[in-house]
Structure 1
């Protein structure tokens, strides 16, 4: 059925389904309708709802960009995406629209890009999206993290606009094993292992926390990150939330603050792979490190996290909840949030063998859409029954 819809919706109504195409998953006390919208995607990495349009923009890691109509499953290719370094965890990654879209027709993409001798890095770029022509025009690279590294892992990489109008990008530590205070994530002369804050044109804001300190990378907003692959803005508080991979467990959910150190690898709750040996101190033991609002300790089994979003749709059942994709655990996590108090609830989509790469709330219908990570993968819709 390569990229053909297996759901038909009448006038966009979520209840109208093709017989046999929707199934129901028992999730605690709740019934969840799980409907495949389209399939045949090769490692889809992000889902983004087009403003005032209702369709979904889909990125695939190997470099494809497309628009998916969730009503009929139609998929249209978008030409003009940048050439990417599609190796390991690298490729075409996240997407975000300028807050003024479509008057400001910019589409922002994060992606892995290659340098010489097989080295690579995380980059941010933008182009003008012409939906009628199905093309991304005049794409330009805005920012590429230095240095380029000989590694195929830990690129980050999520991109969001915050209420302050700045664009934020997560960058991984590129799998550096030089644990200790000299690790790249603790080195503020480079953007590795950090959250970047940039102006929409890619320049560095004058009010960034380290912009006036000689020798430091002025684009850094926060540092001490291992590999944050989820980022979202709280719809009520405007706070920036991230989901981040630990080593052996040690996965985290963080609320990100300007200038803050999130500890990796001098502090955290994970262990060295294959051991129960802690990598650093526990975060709460250090005054110079921000403790995560939620974490998984070594030995817990962890929660290898991906895309993250707060639910702000019409479902009273999910109101204010945080949804986080789980990769190796193969389910969608649901968390209730009260301030910074976080509690995990029953897993969704468990037992299907689906690595959940991204999750997005549809602003028009309130449904959740999920991108499954796989070589021939679906995009699915979730609604509480």
Structure 2
């Protein structure tokens, strides 16, 4: 069943154009007083502009912004139901809604677990089993606590019933299927993006829980725990049997990659099946990574960031070490950064000029980033293009592409926030 918008009211629709002038003004504001890119974003970080990336062919695209639904409290995750057209939206305090994009109506989904809504914790991402509705499982990531009040990133699943008793949708038989241990006293850096890969494995990001003991003993460099890592799981929550460290007795067998700080965007590139992530740095140092099996992404023994409140580097650059995987794109210390959340490779029909490009939201910089990608793997050349939504003052939290239309959906992070869609003007 496909639902299409029926009320593109003029007062809820603003036509914009991705022009260089708007982008230059917006990006300068994000970088801060006197801030520049210094030519240091991108693949090389050496100031050269000889990557061979062709001129941008998606800049001159007119688009409009429509409000789909409003009144969400810090929405965090978006997922469309295949062959249905409706949209699942999580809210960090602990609510899950089923939204009809045609008219903005929404119903609260029953059966959601109790969550630890403190700091950066709460109800976080949502993913739908790739064989839905034959397999009706819906997956949630969330912060939960142990008996001592310490928190951890949880993954759970339940079967979505759209015809539950009383007419309300419900998650039936919901239960946690993986807890990223150890529990920690911090309420920060849960990571918590969840994405199914092309072969049906469930990938989940887990942050470093704000461990500030920088050095080789940091939790992100310790394979015996599941913090600061990408986990690869079966749909039942077990460690995937082909994970890189399953035969190492002292290693956590769910780990797929490690050395991460706090990845809050994750998506699969359709052309290659590769897993891509956007990750928070400390002071700047935000990264875009192509995630490889068994890869060490460096945090905190390699980083492009500085320590908070200083110009002191956290660690040597990735390119000064031969034992870590370097980002394909980064924002160096002093650039103003790109604190990321939510990402998607665009493959829709609504904007042909954007096909194959990466979209990623940024929180503090308050815009929707667009990137063109040339090449594959960790050698890919990534170029940031003119930003979208740069005049709204919106912290962009989550993204999704509507399957039937190719419209790009955006969840805004605020206490009273909308979910909007980007459509052709």
**TM-score, normalization by structure 2:** 0.87
Within a 5 Å distance, the mapping from 1:336-347 to structure 2 comes to: 336-339=372-375, 340-347=380-387
Question: 1:224 and 1:11 mapped to 2: Cα distance?
Answer: 42
Identify the residue that residue 266 of structure 1 maps to in structure 2. Answer: 301
Identify the residue that residue 302 of structure 1 maps to in structure 2. Answer: 337
Identify the residue that residue 362 of structure 2 maps to in structure 1. Answer: 326
Q: CA deviation at 1:97?
A: 1.0
Report the secondary structure of 2:11's partner residue.
coil
Question: 1:346 and 1:53 mapped to 2: Cα distance?
Answer: 33
Cα deviation digits, residues 48-75 of structure 1 (max 9, x gap): 1111011110000011001111110011
Report the secondary structure of 1:157's partner residue.
coil
Cα deviation digits, residues 68-106 of structure 1 (max 9, x gap): 111100111100011111101001111111111111111
Identify the residue that residue 3 of structure 1 maps to in structure 2. Answer: none
Q: Does 1:384 align with 2:424?
A: yes
Q: CA deviation at 1:117?
A: 2.7
1:139 to 174, 177, 194: 174
Identify the residue that residue 24 of structure 1 maps to in structure 2. Answer: 15
Question: 1:23 and 1:132 mapped to 2: Cα distance?
Answer: 37
Question: 1:348 and 1:11 mapped to 2: Cα distance?
Answer: 25
Identify the residue that residue 360 of structure 1 maps to in structure 2. Answer: 400
Within a 5 Å distance, the mapping from 1:222-241 to structure 2 comes to: 222-241=257-276
Question: 2:303 and 2:17 mapped to 1: Cα distance?
Answer: 35
Q: CA deviation at 1:214?
A: 1.3
Q: CA deviation at 1:245?
A: 0.2
- Structure 1 unaligned residues grouped into runs of 5+: 1-9
Q: Does 1:242 align with 2:277?
A: yes
Instruction: Say if 2:203 and 2:230, in contact at 8 Å, map to a contact too.
Output: yes
Of the two structures, which has the highest relative contact order with CA contacts closer than 8 Å and spacing of 6 or more? 2
Report the secondary structure of 1:150's partner residue.
coil
Question: 1:19 and 1:359 mapped to 2: Cα distance?
Answer: 24
Instruction: Say if 2:3 and 2:86, in contact at 8 Å, map to a contact too.
Output: no
Identify the residue that residue 238 of structure 2 maps to in structure 1. Answer: 203
Question: 2:196 and 2:4 mapped to 1: Cα distance?
Answer: 28
Instruction: Say if 2:302 and 2:316, in contact at 8 Å, map to a contact too.
Output: yes
Cα deviation digits, residues 315-338 of structure 1 (max 9, x gap): 212111100010000000000111
Task: Point out the structure with the larger helix share.
Answer: 2
Q: CA deviation at 1:13?
A: 5.3
Within a 5 Å distance, the mapping from 1:76-155 to structure 2 comes to: 76-133=107-164, 134-155=169-190
Within a 5 Å distance, the mapping from 1:3-82 to structure 2 comes to: 12=4, 17-28=8-19, 29-82=60-113
Identify the residue that residue 36 of structure 2 maps to in structure 1. Answer: none
How many residue pairs match? The answer is: 375
Q: CA deviation at 1:209?
A: 0.3
Report the secondary structure of 2:119's partner residue.
coil
Q: CA deviation at 1:17?
A: 1.4
Question: 1:312 and 1:155 mapped to 2: Cα distance?
Answer: 29
Question: 2:270 and 2:241 mapped to 1: Cα distance?
Answer: 26
Question: 1:44 and 1:377 mapped to 2: Cα distance?
Answer: 7
Instruction: Say if 2:5 and 2:101, in contact at 8 Å, map to a contact too.
Output: no
Identify the residue that residue 4 of structure 1 maps to in structure 2. Answer: none
Question: 1:342 and 1:292 mapped to 2: Cα distance?
Answer: 10
Q: CA deviation at 1:285?
A: 1.4
Report the secondary structure of 1:46's partner residue.
strand
Question: 2:411 and 2:155 mapped to 1: Cα distance?
Answer: 22
- Structure 2 unaligned residues grouped into runs of 5+: 20-59
* CA-atom RMSD in angstroms: 1.3
Question: 2:10 and 2:423 mapped to 1: Cα distance?
Answer: 17
Question: 2:175 and 2:77 mapped to 1: Cα distance?
Answer: 20
Report the secondary structure of 1:20's partner residue.
helix
